[in-house]
Amino acid sequence: MIMYHGSPELFDGFDLSRAGAGTGIKYGFGVYLTESERSAVHYSNPRALKGVKAPAHYLYTVEIPDLTEDNHLMSKPPPNASIVAKVESALGIKAPAKVLEHGKLFRKWIGMTLTGSSTNGLEEEKSAAELLNGLGILFNVWPTAQSKPDGEKNVAVFCDKNVRILKIEKIDVEQQKGKWVLTSREVVSA
């Protein structure tokens, strides 16, 4: 599956020790990718700069394994029954009915259960990602636009080894209507 990643940094491989540095971990621990090249271009400028253009912008075209019904969690819909069974078996406990309403709640419950925490943060998300990845559940998925749940998707890939960079482009951007948009591109590595 082809996806995109935008960054102000040039690198030749993803490093999860930096997870959360750009946009946080709102959608789980992992490498954040999108099916939308336009979204990746926009995210090539750090949010922290708030309207100030970063010195450099890069667009990464990457490949990840295809999504199957039992290798990912969706944020809103309930988790797949086979995923729930794998997680419950690994943890040795049944998931509370309330956390089975949404994939996001289920993912957070996994992390808090593993760490013994009553709140969800980076360590909880990292713990959940490691367990899920070890069970063959590779991604957390959410729609690019919440108003279009069947449209383009974003993913958090739980393990950087499941992301292969196909092409890196140095891009130039300009702000239009509050979004950073692509104005030129040059292949750096393919």
Q: Which residues contact 142 (CB under 8 A, 6 or more apart)?
A: 27, 74, 75, 76, 153, 154
Q: What is the mean pLDDT of residues 48-63?
A: 86
User: Which two three-digit tokens encode residue 18?
Assistant: 């930096």
The pLDDT of residue 84 is 98
* Boundaries of every domain in the chain: 2-65+142-189, 72-137
Beta strands in 132-163 (DSSP E): 139-143, 153-157
What are the φ/ψ torsions at residue 129 (nearest 5 degrees)?
-60, -45
Whether 152 has a pLDDT exceeding 80, the answer reads yes
This prediction has a pTM of 0.91
pLDDT digits (tens, 9 = 90+) for 125-147: 999 999 999 999 999 999 886 66
Q: Give 87-119 pLDDT, tens digit per residue.
A: 999 999 999 999 999 999 999 999 999 999 999
C-alpha–C-alpha distance, residues 87 and 93, integer Å: 9
Task: List Cβ<8 Å contacts ≥24 apart for 12-19.
Answer: 12/165, 12/168, 12/189, 13/160, 13/165, 14/160, 14/163, 14/165, 15/160, 16/159, 16/160, 19/122, 19/126
Q: Fill in the amino acid letter for 85.
A: A
- Confidence bin at 21 (pLDDT 50/70/90): low
Residue 69 has pLDDT above 60, yes or no: yes
Provide the pLDDT confidence category of residue 186 given band limits of 50, 70 and 90.
Answer: very high
Contacts of 127 (CB under 8 A, 6+ apart): 110, 111, 114, 115
Mean pLDDT lowest for which of 22-31, 66-75, 100-109?
A: 22-31
| Residue 86 main-chain phi, psi, to 5 deg | -60, -45
CB 160 within 8 A of CB 126: no
Residue with tokens 């196909």: 166
Q: What is the reported pLDDT for 138?
A: 97
